[in-house]
Amino acid sequence: MAMLMLCDWKLSPLAAEGRHPALEDPWEAALRGGPGLVLALLTATQGPSYRDPGAAMAIFSDGRFAGAVTSGCVEADLILRAEEVRASGIPQRLRYGAGSPFMDLRLPCGGAAEVSLFPLRDRGALFDLSRARAERRAVALEISPQGDLGLGPWRPTGPAEEGFVLGFPPALRFLVFGAGPEAAVFARLLLSLDYDHLLISHEEESLNSAAAFGCRTRPLRRAEEIAELDLDARCSAALFYHDHDYEPEILSRLLETPAFYIGAQGSRSAQRTRLLRLAEMGVTEAALSRLRGPIGLVPSARDPQTLAISVLAEILAAAPKA
């Protein structure tokens, strides 16, 4: 039965969106869960592993789940053991793979995974966590061996003196500036991957095209409005303009922010011209050195789809790790 629950992912409400439940945020899902919700937390790994410590899974009383702690190797067993935790109220600490008593549950990677399984007793800390993440505040969820939760200042994910600490930096945020299909396709790619994004454009057609797919959009009337976007060190900004005359005013303001990635589409010649114009506007050499172009890991990408994937890969490679 548990294996059926794991494989038949249509049991999840996410199936209506065409998404696997392992992709759902387990902490947000836990807020919606009713009585009997059990949380699984990956606390340690040994050798090769698909996920890092801190990966979590919310298991509902009817067997549905959100999130994952492996690539599907032990989730079915965790759903079964969650029934034991639900009935007893006693947390369990489990080890899978090398050194595990469950010899019939081997990890294909050859490593080992340690998982804590505990009932959710109080959602108060999760409401605080959800609010902090919405406000882009870095926080840490402190988890006791008994499964009690508390929210505190940010600390890196890892074992604590008592229990485990799960660090939550602000989510990566993607700002997309531009007009035309490249900007709209890139915004749609971000939406499909559930990234925090915003398409900003002076062109109504580009805004309408992206909004029709559910992308978040905002018109750009004056370059001064960029200050209202509150870019932080976990934000990126990518420009997709064919008319490069729009770029200097936007880029000069973006380069004043702590965004970890700022780049613009175009040829090497366009990049040289872009840098010269920004220098004439008084942008410093240090700031100019932050501007990427041509953007993307795939050289000379000619179609919007390839360019979007290429640029996203470049941004993720440059993203801060914590």
Give 294's pLDDT tier (boundaries 50, 70, 90): very high
- The reply to whether 177 and 312 lie within a common domain is yes
pTM as predicted: 0.85
Average pLDDT for residues 65-75, to the nearest whole number? 86
Could you read off the pLDDT of 247-283 as tens digits, one per residue? 999 999 999 999 999 999 999 999 999 999 999 999 9
* Strand order, beta sheet including 56-59: 65-67, 56-59, 38-46, 112-119, 92-97
- The reply to whether 36 and 126 lie within a common domain is no
- The reply to whether 147 and 250 lie within a common domain is no
Q: How many domains does the chain have?
A: 3
Q: How far is CA 183 from the centre of its chain?
A: 20
User: Where a domain ends, among 99, 134, 169?
Assistant: 169
Q: In terms of Cα–Cα distance, which of 162, 152, 125 is closest to 39? A: 125
Cα dihedral sign, 305-309-310-311 = positive
- The reply to whether 178 and 307 lie within a common domain is yes
- The reply to whether 245 and 294 lie within a common domain is yes
CA atoms within 13 A on the CB side of 237: 25
- The reply to whether 106 and 23 lie within a common domain is yes
- The reply to whether 33 and 141 lie within a common domain is no
- The reply to whether 131 and 116 lie within a common domain is no
Confidence at residue 45, expressed as pLDDT on a 0 to 100 scale: 87
Q: Which of 98-102, 233-237, 275-279, 282-286 has the lowest mean pLDDT?
A: 98-102
- The reply to whether 107 and 128 lie within a common domain is no
Domain range for residue 107? 2-120
Rounded Cα gap, residues 115 and 181, in angstroms: 45
Element (H, E) at 15: none
- The reply to whether 222 and 210 lie within a common domain is yes
- The reply to whether 205 and 243 lie within a common domain is yes
Confidence at residue 211, expressed as pLDDT on a 0 to 100 scale: 95
Q: In terms of Cα–Cα distance, which of 262, 266, 240 is closest to 251? A: 262
CATH number for the domain including 243?
Answer: 3.40.50.720
Could you read off the pLDDT of 141-192 as tens digits, one per residue? 999 988 999 999 999 999 988 899 999 999 999 999 999 999 999 999 999 9
- The reply to whether 106 and 127 lie within a common domain is no
User: Where a domain ends, among 138, 169, 200?
Assistant: 169
Confidence at residue 15, expressed as pLDDT on a 0 to 100 scale: 43
